Amino acid sequence: MRWMCERGIDVFFEVPGETFLSILDALYEEKRVRVAVMRHEGGASFAAEAFAKFAGRPALCMATRGPGASNLSIGVQTAHYDGTPLIALTGLIPRSMQGGRAFQEFDPTSMFSSISKRVFVVNSPEALLPTLDQALDIATSGRPGPVVIGLPTDILSGTVPGDIARRDVITPEWGGGDVQWLADALDAARSPAILVATSAERGAAASAIAQLSLEANLPVFCAWRRFSAFDNGHPNFVGSIGIGQRSNVNDALAKADFVLSFGFAIEQITCQNAQLDRAGRRIIQIAAGVDEDARRQVPSADLLQVIDNPTRVANALRSHYEARAKHTSTSPTAMEKPSAADESPRGVEDGELRMDVLMATLDRKLPQNAIVTCDAGNFAQWRVRHVSFGGSRVFLGALDGAMGYGLPAAIGAELAAPGRSCFVFAGDGGSLMSSPDLESAVRLDLSTVVFVFDNHLFGTIRAKQEDQYPGRPMGTELGPVDFGQLARASGWKSWTVRSSEEIAPAIDEVLSEDGCRLVHFVLGQLPLKPAN
């Protein structure tokens, strides 16, 4: 536990298991670490992933052997796809029993190697501390991601030798101060654009990119589910790329012949929706490391990955254009910004609950410093159009589309940012995948708000089913659930909304309360996706 404190890890997400009772006992005396006990190992890994994604520093979660580790794997896979620094610990059977099919024995290397940066199994007390430090280095270097460590019970219960003192970390000065080559590339482009996938909570990088976009007259897009990486209220912001977005936003980036990417933005949903894989298009990605999989996403484009700090590069480019503006008016030719579609909701019929009205109202009513966590589901296609991330709003969503993410992610985010309002957007399918952690949020004394969008369907899959097999629905229906009653059973306050007229009054009432609150939006028969 001293290692956790020395390395700045102050929250331990876990579901208890007999393999690491010695760790829990050590935490009994350690008041600097908060233990977040979750109801399901998947919730523990989701919460840790969201904590790390929001805080910008590694988080730690733990499960027991076998079934516990299997449950933990969903959040590990999310961290791997999303590029989130995570240390996932799993207890193992004692070393003397390994290889004999002992109770809950499993091979963590075989299980986790395809969904993590590295898997370690600690086989001696002397190796424990060096392995933990190596895992931390790997999780945070290059493209961040999860590292899994298997810990036999007998090692955890013994004495661990070694020096636990914090090592000095030296950050080298940027050696690429001359950005003339990059400015020349921008100047040569007919229709350049910026694509942003930096941290969810905007900081120095977002500020530097915002100033660069003004100096160089460049339009800015956010990558898939990086919706709060750039101020949505900025005059140069065009929109966020992804499923459900208006076609003219995706098409606007598709027309760019040069894309300057900040952060790890080159992934399938972004590239597919914005048609980035095109011969003749140049893409330069500025990030902390190389993304080995990026080339697979844009094999026809001219991709160059530059390992550098996005903040430093954006500031250097901004200074270049600032200095040049004193001597010339020349700047890159920005693409024409697409005209905003008329998204104002039409008149509401009696008894109808409209998704456009609902999401537009939420955007208007939610605080400007709200943290929004989003589950997977077709409701999110309306969210991407109508809920914006200006001010200091933050968006946290699983790029890998994992269901059940919303509530555990909110728990992790609230522990990372005490006092910030956190709002969960989730469908009825995803909500029940993590509903046991309704109790966890109450026990942890959080003030979370959950919005459940209930259409009695696995809606995203039904939409694809209707596209491929029209008029033949099968295996995608869900039955009705009284989410308000479920929430109250766990100590939450709840509201049920069935018509658009009820939306604004209910949200006003919710926002006037505190503690854990859930709003059940009963949607009935709705379009499965918004019209273009």
Q: Quick check: 345 pLDDT over 60?
A: no
C-alpha to C-alpha distance for 312 and 204, rounded to whole angstroms: 9
pTM equals 0.89
Task: Give backbone dihedrals phi and psi of 13, rounded to 5 degrees, phi first.
Answer: -90, 130
| 460-483 pLDDT per residue, tens | 999 889 999 999 999 999 999 999
In the chain, CATH 3.40.50.1220 sits at 180-325
Provide the pLDDT confidence category of residue 249 given band limits of 50, 70 and 90: very high
Identify the pLDDT of residue 515: 96
Q: Quick check: 167 pLDDT over 60?
A: no
CATH pick for 2-156 out of 3.10.20.90, 3.40.50.300, 3.90.650.10, 3.40.50.970: 3.40.50.970
The least confident of 202-211, 242-251, 333-342 is 333-342
Mean pLDDT score, 489-509: 96
Identify the pLDDT of residue 169: 38
CATH number for region 180-325:
3.40.50.1220
Identify the pLDDT of residue 170: 37
* CATH class, range 355-522: alpha beta
With beta carbons less than 8 A apart as the criterion, state whether 379 and 425 touch: yes
- Eight-class DSSP state of 1: -
In the chain, CATH 3.40.50.970 sits at 2-156, 355-522
Mean pLDDT score, 180-186: 92
| 49-68 pLDDT per residue, tens | 999 999 999 999 999 999 99
| 365-378 pLDDT per residue, tens | 999 999 999 999 98
> Taking each helix axis from N to C terminus, what angle separates 41-55 and 406-416, rounded to the nearest 10 degrees?
50
Look at residues 74, 154, 151 and name the one whose alpha carbon lies nearest to residue 111: 74
Q: Quick check: 158 pLDDT over 90?
A: no
Identify the pLDDT of residue 172: 38
Strands 448-454 and 517-522: parallel
Residue type, 492: W
C-alpha to C-alpha distance for 77 and 399, rounded to whole angstroms: 10
| 68-104 pLDDT per residue, tens | 999 999 999 999 999 999 999 999 988 877 777 777 7
Q: Quick check: 173 pLDDT over 60?
A: no
C-alpha dihedral, 496 to 502 to 505 to 508, nearest 10°: 50
Using DSSP's 3-state secondary structure scheme, residue 357 falls into: helix
Provide the pLDDT confidence category of residue 127 given band limits of 50, 70 and 90: confident
